[in-house]
């Protein structure tokens, strides 16, 4: 699988995941973890299915 999520994009996706964890704990609305977990998974895998469909490649790593 070819990666299409770059380092900066992955960092912000992970940051949003942390924010959604904080929001979920503070409000008790655990539904916030679903979009956060999806963003975190795409950051860890460095692959986003929506980017693949649209044709966006944010990864500047040549390998």
Q: 22-57 pLDDT, tens per residue?
A: 999 999 999 999 999 999 999 999 999 999 999 999
Is the confidence at residue 62, as pLDDT, over 90? no
Does residue 4 belong to any structural domain of this protein? no
Is the confidence at residue 63, as pLDDT, over 80? no
Does residue 32 belong to any structural domain of this protein? yes
Does residue 42 belong to any structural domain of this protein? yes
Does residue 26 belong to any structural domain of this protein? yes
Q: What is the per-residue pLDDT for 60? A: 84
Q: What is the per-residue pLDDT for 29? A: 95
Distances in whole angstroms, Cα of residue 34 to Cα of each of 8, 20, 22, 37: 22, 9, 13, 5
Does residue 33 belong to any structural domain of this protein? yes
Does residue 45 belong to any structural domain of this protein? yes
Does residue 17 belong to any structural domain of this protein? yes
Domain with 45, as residue range(s), is: 10-53
Domain count along the chain: 1
| The model's pTM | 0.86
Does residue 25 belong to any structural domain of this protein? yes
Q: Which two tokens stand for residue 18?
A: 């942390």
Is the confidence at residue 16, as pLDDT, over 90? yes
């Amino acid at each position: 699988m070819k990666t299409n999520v770059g380092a900066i994009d992955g960092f912000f996706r992970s940051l949003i995941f942390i924010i959604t964890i904080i929001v979920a704990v503070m409000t008790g609305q655990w539904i916030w973890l679903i979009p956060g977990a999806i963003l975190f998974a795409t950051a860890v895998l460095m692959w986003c299915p929506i980017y693949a469909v649209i044709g966006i490649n944010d990864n500047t790593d040549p390998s």
